[in-house]
Structure 1
Amino acid sequence: MTSRVHLACVGLGRPLALVVTDGNTNDCTQLTAVMEAIRVPRLWPVRPAHVIGDKGYSS
């Protein structure tokens, strides 16, 4: 059985969250799960203004 890792990281490559699924799962279907898995401790509530993603696949 193969696995696929769906990863969110900061610009310098530090991982923020990852979700592991089976090898047949599309990346685009896991965006919500990966974004919800991000947990960054903050002193005050601040949300990021932008989210940037690369387009590794045509979907």
Structure 2
Amino acid sequence: KSYYPCLEVDEFWTYVENKSKKYWLIYAYERQSGEIVAYVWGKQDLKTAKGLREKRKHLI
């Protein structure tokens, strides 16, 4: 599908190796189908959040 009328965004974070290395997974999905249409994985910062925004721009 190349167009989605409505996408929802969710997130979770986890540690990698030790508690000082916290990483973030943010994803956009279509509620009806549960299809994950875009995601980013990275440090918990604005750069990572903007990465998801860029990936989903063409989907809505």
- TM-score for both structures, normalised by structure 1: 0.43
**Larger RCO (alpha carbons 8 Å, 6+ apart):** 2
Richer in helix (by share) = 2
